[in-house]
Amino acid sequence: MCNLNLFVSFLNLCLRLFCGADFEKLLKEILLVPSPTGYEHRLAEKIQKLLPEALPTEKDNLGSLYLSLGKGTQKLALLACMDEYGYIITGVTEDGYLRMDRVVPAPHPVYDSFHQGHPMLIRTEKGLVTGVMAIPSVHILSRGRREELQSFSLDQAFLDIGVRSEQEVREKGVRMLDPVVPLPDFTQLAGEKMAGPGLGSKTCCALLLDVSGKVRAEKLSQAATFVWMAQTKFNRRSRRLTEAMGASCVKSKLDPERAIIIDVFPVDWSKEVDISIGKGPVLVLNTSKGSSLGERIEAIAEDKGIPLQKYSGFQSSVMNPFLSESSDILILALPVQFFATPVEMVDFKDVRALEGLLQSLLD
């Protein structure tokens, strides 16, 4: 996989510029593990390996990973989402092209079109296989077909892995339902920003991992459980609020009184929202109901001079399962520009600020 080796070298360089050596190592390892919804187990294994060996972890039936530290009657859960958007292999044509489907709904109407004519990565049991999403040649396109291509969807998607038959597909190790994601290619931008596919959620996972490794369990005045959740983009069938399946499972297992969800905040998904990248993490409260956890975070931010943006009224399928009269739940989000595109943009000033807030809260 010489392609990936190149990306790893470049990634090393970017991350070294933006963050400390420990966090750099964690994020690099996490960014390169494809984890579309339902296929998070490799990422969970990677996170488990990156945790200190002595720390006790467990998993639930969906594959979410739990790490419990400290003792006490009060319980605090810190949660991050492991899954990213992607596809699965659902067919092979006679001449060796792969067909795909999605496991969860596309995050927005033009999601598929970002991938036509670009490289993709398949995770197989034998390892990673690179392919390209076929695109017609401009020279031999009729004007009518050219217009049709603007509404590209999975119906027109053929993944080319450079083979000519079903037999060769099998020889490459590609099987039905293998997961597919955009090639993890990350770009360093000016002003401490970086862009790449799945960068927001993966950075949140790495942050939680970094913070969990730095917490001194014996000093914790409460029981803290760190959870890397699977299947957060897949919603349970319900007539109630939209609830992420993975989050519902975590709720039934932990039933935390207080929870902080470390998630992304898509800054450009609503015109009414005045939140930007580079201006600090976003404290997201579900209702106007007071939150002692939120007040504590605001106090820390003020005390430490950490920039913090605020937003309330956000509907989140990850937060919904935890909502109850007695619970104190909030999202502490990393602002992300161009979320769910191959160039999700993150400002590493926000990452450091979020890390500072979490560490101060646990200390």
Partner 1 sequence: MKKKYMISIIGLSICFSLLSVCNSDSLSSWELMKKLVLIPGVSGYEGEVADFIQSLFPVGIKPQRDEMENIWFSAGEGRPHLLFVAHTDEIGLVVDQITPEGTLKVKGRGGFLAQMYEGHPVVICTDEGPVNGVVAPRTGYSQRDAGSSNFRLNDIEIHLGISSEEEARSLGIKEENQITIKKNVIELSPDLIATRAVDDRAGCAALLSAASRIDWKRIKGKTVTFAWDVQEETGLFGASRLARTLKPDYVFAVDTFVSSDTPLDEKRFARIVLGEGAVIRAIDSSNIAPRFVLEKVMKIAGDNQIPFQLGNTRGGNDGSVFVPEGAADIPLSWPGVYSHSFIEKIHRHDLEALTRLIEALVKDFNGVRLPKLQ
| 258: CB partners within 8 A, 6+ apart | 74, 75, 76, 77, 293, 327, 328, 329
At position 328, the amino acid (one-letter code) is D
Q: Which two tokens stand for residue 220?
A: 């914790």
Binding status of residue 114 toward partner 1 by CB under 8 A: yes
Q: Which stretch binds partner 1 (CB under 8 A): 67-75, 105-113, 199-207, 306-314?
A: 105-113
Question: Among residue numbers 155 through 194, which ones bind partner 1 (CB under 8 A)?
Answer: 156, 158, 160-163, 183, 185, 187-193
Binding residue for partner 1 (CB under 8 A) from 128, 213, 338, 359?
338
The set of residues, in sequence order, having a beta carbon less than 8 Å from that of 5 and lying 6+ positions away, is none
Q: How far is the CB of 156 from partner 1 (least distance, A)?
A: 7
Residue with Cβ nearer partner 1 (13 or 177):
13
- The distance of closest approach from Cβ of residue 150 to partner 1 in the complex, given in angstroms and rounded to an integer, is 4
CB-nearer residue toward partner 1: 21 or 138: 138
Shortest CB 196 distance to partner 1, Å: 8
Among 97, 228, 265, 322, binds partner 1 (CB under 8 A): 97
CA neighbours closer than 13 Å in the CB half-sphere of residue 78? 28
Give CA–CA dist 68/225, Å, rounded: 4
Using CB under 8 A as the binding rule, whether residue 213 contacts partner 1 is answered as no
* Non-local CB neighbours of 110 within 8 Å, separated by 6+ positions: none
> Smallest gap, in angstroms, from Cβ of residue 303 to partner 1?
28
Q: Under the criterion CB under 8 A, does residue 315 sit at the interface with partner 1?
A: no
Residues contacting partner 1: total by CB under 8 A: 61
Determine the interface stretch with partner 1 among 27-35, 51-59, 319-327, 341-349 (rule: CB under 8 A): 341-349
Residue with Cβ nearer partner 1 (51 or 134): 134
Closer of 195 and 329 to partner 1 (Cβ): 195
* Region near partner 1 per CB under 8 A, out of 18-26, 74-82, 152-160, 238-246: 152-160
Q: How many CB atoms lie within 10 A of CB 16?
A: 12
Is 149 near partner 1 (CB under 8 A)?
A: yes
Structure tokens at 91: 């067919």
Pick one of 101, 147, 302, 363: the residue that binds partner 1 (CB under 8 A).
147
Of 28, 59, 75, 118, which lies in the binding site for partner 1, with binding defined by CB under 8 A? 118
Q: Which of residues 74-93 bind partner 1 (CB under 8 A)?
A: 93
Pairing of β 87-92 and β 57-59: unpaired
Which distant-in-sequence residues (6+ apart) come within 8 Å of 147 by Cβ?
none
- CA dist 352 and 192 (Å) reads 11
Window 236 to 295, contacts with partner 1 (CB under 8 A): 266, 268-269
| 320-350 CB burial, b ≥16 within 10 A, e <16 | bbbbeeebbbbbbbbbbbbbbbbbbbbbbbb
DSSP state of 224: E
Q: At what angle do helices 199-214 and 348-362 cross, to 10 degrees?
A: 30
Element (H, E) at 250: helix 245-254
- Alpha-carbon torsion 252, 255, 256, 259, what sign? positive
Among 9, 61, 73, 150, binds partner 1 (CB under 8 A): 150
Tokens 């000033």 sit at which residue?
Answer: 349
Distance of closest approach, residue 135 Cβ to partner 1, in angstroms: 5
327 near partner 1, judged by CB under 8 A: no
Q: How far apart are CA 187 and CA 193, in angstroms?
A: 9
Helix axes 2-18, 21-31, angle to 10 degrees: 150
Q: Which is nearer to partner 1, 40 or 344 (CB)?
A: 344
Per the CB < 8 A criterion, the answer to whether 283 and 260 are in contact is: no
- Rule CB under 8 A: which residues touch partner 1? 2-3, 6, 93, 95, 97, 107-110, 113-114, 116-119, 130-140, 142, 146-147, 149-152, 156, 158, 160-163, 183, 185, 187-193, 195, 266, 268-269, 337-343, 345
